[in-house]
Amino acid sequence: MKLFGFKTKEHPAKTPAPQSPKKEGAFIDIRITNPEGAVLYEGPLNGLKFPEKLIIAKCAYFFNDDEPCFIHRSAVAARLFEELNRLLEQKAKLNAAELQEASPGYLDEYPGFEYIEALGKTDT
């Protein structure tokens, strides 16, 4: 008797397991610096921390949810990461004014930042 569709030697799976595709559009590594050149953050873009007020504001905008659940928070964070990723693919180094114009409040967790720059692709 075969339960739950498990494969055995005698009964191999009818269809092969799908191969996961190579990640397209993987996030880039970034560096955030202050005016003196000190590094405030360096690592994968999806490792950034967004301000709580920004997450709540975007959840309210996209989902009409003032007290967002984990799923809504995650969806908003993914969208913010993708927006920053696209900006940095267009221009590898943005100053604070350019970023605030395109995406206001995104880097408020990094006070005094002057530049955000793309360093290259990452596998995360």
Mean pLDDT per 10-residue segment, the chain (124 residues): 53 48 63 92 90 92 89 92 89 88 87 89 55
Q: Looking at the 3D structure of the chain, how many domains does it have? A: 1
According to the model, what pLDDT value does residue 36 have? 92
pTM across the whole model: 0.70
Q: Is residue 113 part of a domain?
A: yes
Q: Is residue 93 part of a domain?
A: yes
Q: Is residue 1 part of a domain?
A: no
Q: Is residue 117 part of a domain?
A: yes
Full domain range(s) for residue 35: 28-121
How many Å separate Cα 94 from the centre of its chain? 17
According to the model, what pLDDT value does residue 14 have? 54
Q: Is residue 23 part of a domain?
A: no
Q: Is residue 4 part of a domain?
A: no
Nearest Cα residue to 45 out of 115, 121, 104, 110: 121
Q: Is residue 6 part of a domain?
A: no
What Cα–Cα distance (Å) separates residue 71 from each residue in 18, 35, 83? 26, 36, 18
Q: Is residue 10 part of a domain?
A: no
